[in-house]
């Protein structure tokens, strides 16, 4: 498989909410099913840094380092006895108009371009994103390393998904592979989740404004590679 995109993903804040599966079933790409952990269905609000970004090995000027915030959920597909555990996106937000347009038009990914910023100190990580409808903010205080999560744990479930599926027009579904080493996790304190989920992600997600997350994690991140996708349906 050909590497389409390489980068370093860094300082991934993941706020994870347990939701009813019915919220997401209509968004499942054809041929996949929801991936549950201990019977629970999750959506995750994820903010992170995209660094040293290269497309087909070539850095694109002014589009190398930027923030991304996405709302994602977890699905899977069985292929010849292999379970391909994957993520599927409700919306992905970046500050670069060209990236959002190319990803949306050419690859069918639900990208939008918003104003974005971040801060990183020895003790805190934060992401902010805004448009004409309002502003959102996600911030944590870094606590202590909990290492690479154990097999079967909640932390492993959240970060160990190495496939993606995208539903496109006409019933088409694309599959792509993401490669990265296992990530070190940190516990966090004093999390601030000031997000209007309804305005940002759709009215069906507005109830999350008043929900306490099941967990909030911080992953150190690593170099990643996204392989060129293929049509599966």
Please tell me the predicted confidence (pLDDT) of residue 29. Answer: 94
pLDDT band at 104 (very low <50, low <70, confident <90, very high): low
Stretch 20-25: mean pLDDT: 98
**Structural domains for the chain:** 3-231 (2.40.400.10)
Q: Evaluate if residue 55 carries a pLDDT over 80.
A: no
Average pLDDT over residues 124-137: 96
Left, alpha or beta for 207 (phi > 0: left; psi -120 to 50: alpha)? alpha
Once rounded to an integer, what is the mean pLDDT over residues 40-55?
93
H-only helix segments in 33-108: 97-107
Beta bridge partners of 67: 49
Question: Rounded to whole angstroms, what are the CA distances from 47 to 39, 102, 127, 152, 196?
Answer: 25, 21, 6, 24, 15
- 50's tokens: 């995209």
| Residue 230 binned pLDDT confidence (cut-offs 50, 70, 90) | confident
pLDDT at 60: 65
Q: What is the pLDDT of residues 2-12, one digit of tens each?
A: 777 789 999 99
Which residues is 89 bridged to in the sheet?
A: 72
pLDDT at residue 170 in the model: 80
Per-residue burial over 132-141, b if 16 or more Cβ lie within 10 Å, else e, is: eeeebebbbb
Percent of the chain whose predicted confidence (pLDDT) is above 90: 77
pLDDT higher than 60, residue 62: no
Q: Write down the pLDDT at residue 64.
A: 81
Q: What is the pLDDT of residues 74-99, one digit of tens each?
A: 999 999 999 999 999 999 999 976 66
The pTM assigned to this predicted structure is 0.93
Q: Which two tokens stand for residue 55?
A: 């497309």
Using CA atoms, how far apart are residues 22 and 41, in angstroms rounded to an integer? 10
pLDDT at 105: 58
Does the pLDDT value for residue 199 go beyond 60? Answer: yes
Helix ranges (H only) for the chain are 97-107, 154-159, 197-201
State the Cα angle at 155 between 82 and 42, rounded to 5°: 75
In whole numbers, what is the pLDDT of the chain averaged over residues? Answer: 91
DSSP E strands in the chain: the ranges are 3-19, 33-34, 41-55, 58-59, 66-79, 82-94, 111-113, 115-120, 124-131, 134-147, 163-167, 173-179, 185-194, 215-227, 230-231
């Amino acid at each position: 498989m050909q590497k389409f995109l390489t980068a370093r993903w860094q300082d991934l804040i993941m706020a994870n909410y347990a939701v009813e599966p019915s919220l997401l079933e209509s968004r499942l790409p054809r041929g996949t099913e929801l991936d549950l952990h201990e019977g629970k269905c999750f959506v995750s609000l994820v903010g992170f840094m995209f660094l040293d970004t290269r497309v087909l090995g070539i850095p694109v000027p002014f589009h190398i380092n930027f923030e991304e915030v996405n709302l994602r959920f977890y699905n899977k597909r069985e292929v010849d006895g292999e379970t391909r555990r994957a993520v599927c996106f409700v919306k992905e937000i970046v500050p670069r108009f060209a990236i959002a347009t190319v990803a949306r038009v050419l690859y069918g990914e639900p990208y939008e371009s918003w104003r974005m910023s971040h801060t990183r100190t020895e003790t805190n990580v934060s992401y902010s994103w805004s448009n004409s409808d309002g502003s959102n903010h996600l911030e944590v205080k870094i606590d202590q390393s909990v290492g690479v999560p154990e097999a079967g744990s909640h932390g492993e479930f959240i970060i160990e998904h190495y496939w993606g599926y995208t539903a496109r027009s006409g019933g088409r579904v694309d599959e792509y592979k993401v490669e990265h080493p296992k990530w070190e996790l940190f516990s966090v304190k004093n999390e601030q989740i000031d997000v209007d989920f309804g305005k940002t992600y759709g009215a069906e997600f507005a109830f999350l404004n008043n929900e306490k997350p099941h967990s909030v994690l911080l992953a150190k991140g690593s170099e990643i590679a996204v392989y060129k996708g293929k049509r599966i349906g």
